[in-house]
Amino acid sequence: MSSPDTAQPRAADAAGPAPPLGPGPAASGGRLVWRPRGTDAVQTTASLAALVLMILVFSVLDAQFRSWDNVVAVVDAAAVLAVVTVGLTFVLLLGAIDLSVEGVIGACALTVALLVANSRTGLDLGVLGVAATVALGAAFGLLSGVLSTRLRIPSFLTTLGVYAIGLGVATILFSGERPIVEDPWLGDWASSRFLGFTIVSWVAAGAILVGWLIQRYTRVGRYAYAIGGAEDIARLSGVPVARYKTAAFAVAGAFYGLGAVMATSQLGSGVVQAGSGLNFSAIAAAVIGGTLLVGGRGGVLQSMIGVLVLTVLQNGLILAGVSPYAQQAVQGVIVVVAVAAATWPVRHRLGVVK
Amino acid sequence: MSTDTAPEVARPSEAPRQPDGSSRVRRELVRFMPLIILAVLLVLLSLRNPDLLTQRSLTTMADSAAPLMVLAVGITVVILCGGIDLSIGALASFASVLTALWVPSMSGAVVVPVVLVCALAGVVQGWIHIAARVPSFIVTLGGMSLWTGLALAFSGASTVAVTDIAALRWAFTRIGGTVPSALVIALGVVVVLGAVMRFTPFGRWVASVGHAEPAARLAGLPVSMVKIAAFGVSGACAGLAGVLLVARTFSGAPTLGESLLLPAVAAVIVGGTAITGGHGGLFRTVVGALIVVLLRTGLSLIGVDAGFEPIFYGVLIIIAVSVTIDRSKVAVLK
pLDDT at B189: 96
Residue B185 confidence (pLDDT): 94
pLDDT tens digits, A165-176? 999 999 999 988
pLDDT of residue B9: 41
The count of structural domains within chain A is 1
Residue A93 has pLDDT above 80, yes or no: yes
- The alpha carbon of residue A351 and the mean position of all alpha carbons in its chain are separated, in whole angstroms, by 28
Closest-CA distance, B211 to chain A, in angstroms, reads 12
The stretch A260-287 carries a mean pLDDT of 92
E strand or H helix at A87: helix A68-93
Distance of alpha carbon A328 from alpha carbon B148, whole angstroms: 8
Does residue A245 contact residue A295 with C-beta atoms inside 8 Å?
Answer: no
Residue B256 lies in a domain: yes
Comparing CB atoms, the residue among B153, B306, B318 nearest residue A323 is B153
Average pLDDT over residues B57-79: 92
What percent of chain A lies above the pLDDT cut of 70? 88
pLDDT tens per residue across span B304-325: 888 888 898 899 889 888 888 8
> Per-residue pLDDT for B260 more than 70?
yes
Q: Is residue B66 part of a domain?
A: yes
CA–centroid distance for B269 within its chain: 9
Give pLDDT, residue B22: 66
Are the CB atoms for B297 and B52 separated by under 8 Å?
Answer: yes
Instruction: Determine whether the interchain pair A335/B310 forms a contact, defined as Cβ–Cβ distance below 8 Å.
Output: no
What is the pLDDT at residue B134? 87
B189-246 pLDDT per residue, tens? 999 999 999 999 999 999 999 988 889 999 999 999 999 999 999 999 999 999 999 9
State the average pLDDT for chain B: 86
Give residue B187's pLDDT: 94
**pLDDT at residue number B21:** 59
**Mean pLDDT score, A3-28:** 39
CB contact under 8 A, A160 and B265: yes
Average pLDDT, chain A: 85
CATH number of domain containing B96: 1.10.3470
A contact residues 265-304, partner B, Cβ 8 Å cutoff = 280, 283, 293, 295
Judge whether B321 is closer than 8 Å to chain A, CB to CB: yes
Chain A nearest CA to B148, separation (Å): 7
Whether B287 is in a domain gets the answer yes
Distance CA A187, CA A179 (A): 13
User: Taking residues B154-183, what's their average pLDDT?
Assistant: 86
Cα separation, A241 vs A175, in Å, equals 40
Residue B48's identity, in one-letter code, is: R
- The sign of the torsion formed by the CA atoms of B270, B276, B278, B282 equals positive
Strands (E), chain B: 160-161, 174-175, 179-180, 251-252
Q: Please state, as a whole number, how many other Cβ atoms lie within 10 Å of the Cβ of residue B260.
A: 24
3-state SS, residue A194? strand
Contact A97, B334 (CB under 8 A): yes
pLDDT band at A74 (very low <50, low <70, confident <90, very high): very high
Reported as a single tens digit per residue, the pLDDT across B115-165 is: 999 999 999 999 999 998 888 988 999 999 999 999 999 998 899 998 887
B305 touches chain A (CB under 8 A): yes
| CATH number of the domain to which A74 belongs | 1.10.3470
At residue A9, the pLDDT reads 40
Residues 6+ apart with CB under 8 A from A231: A95, A241, A295, B332
Range of A216's domain? 37-347
Determine the Cα–Cα distance for residues A229 and B267; give it in Å rounded to an integer. Answer: 35
pLDDT at residue A341 above 90? no
Domain count, chain B: 1
B84 in A contact zone (CB under 8 Å): yes
**Domain-embedded: residue A214:** yes
Residue B17 has pLDDT above 60, yes or no: no
ipTM for this prediction: 0.81
Residues in chain B within 8 Å Cβ distance of A335 = 138, 141-142, 145
Mean pLDDT of A185-200: 89
R_g of chain A computed on alpha carbons: 20
Flag whether B19 is in a domain: no
The verdict on pTM exceeding 0.90 is no
Q: B145 touching A, CB under 8 A?
A: yes
Q: Chain-centre distance of CA A257, in angstroms?
A: 12
pLDDT of residue B333: 62
Identify whether the C-beta of residue A260 lies closer than 8 Å to the C-beta of residue A109: yes
Distance CA A88, CA A99 (A): 9
- What residues make up the domain containing B317? 51-327
Cβ atoms A84, A263 nearer than 8 A? no
Q: What percent of chain B has pLDDT over 90?
A: 50
Whether B317 is in a domain gets the answer: yes
* Identity of the highest mean pLDDT range in A148-152, A159-163, B41-45, B270-274: A159-163
